[in-house]
Amino acid sequence: MDLKDDGSFSFSSGAADSGFGTMIFTEEGFTVDKISYSESSYDSDNNQIISYYVNHESATEEEFFSAINKQIEKPAVTWYDFNDGNIETLLSE
C-alpha cells in the first residue's frame, strides 16, 4: 500500500503487525525488506506483546510512530498509464 517515490511502501497483516519496507527481487521471486515495523506475539498468559523496529533495530513505540510519520510525509510515486505514448517517452529519455 501507499507506494512512495523512493520505492518504499506500507504493509499490514493485522492491527499490530505493520510497517514499511522495500521489495528485493531475485531470480526465484521477491522478498520484503522490512525497514521499520511492529509485530505482535503472546506471552504464556496469553497477553499480547508488541515489538517495534526502526531501521532494522529494536525501537520504542514512540520511535516507531515517528518513523511511520516520516514515511507518510514522503512523496507518493507518480503513476502513468501503460500506453504506447508513455512507453515511447520513457524509452527516449
- From 78, 63, 62, 68, select the one nearest 34 (Cα to Cα): 68
**Block means of pLDDT (10 residues each) for the chain, length 93 residues?**
95 90 95 95 94 97 97 94 89 85
Q: What's the confidence (pLDDT) of residue 74?
A: 97
Q: What's the confidence (pLDDT) of residue 14?
A: 82
Side chain identity, residue 18: S
CA gap 75, 77 in Å, rounded: 7
Q: What's the confidence (pLDDT) of residue 12?
A: 93
Extents of the domains making up the chain: 9-92
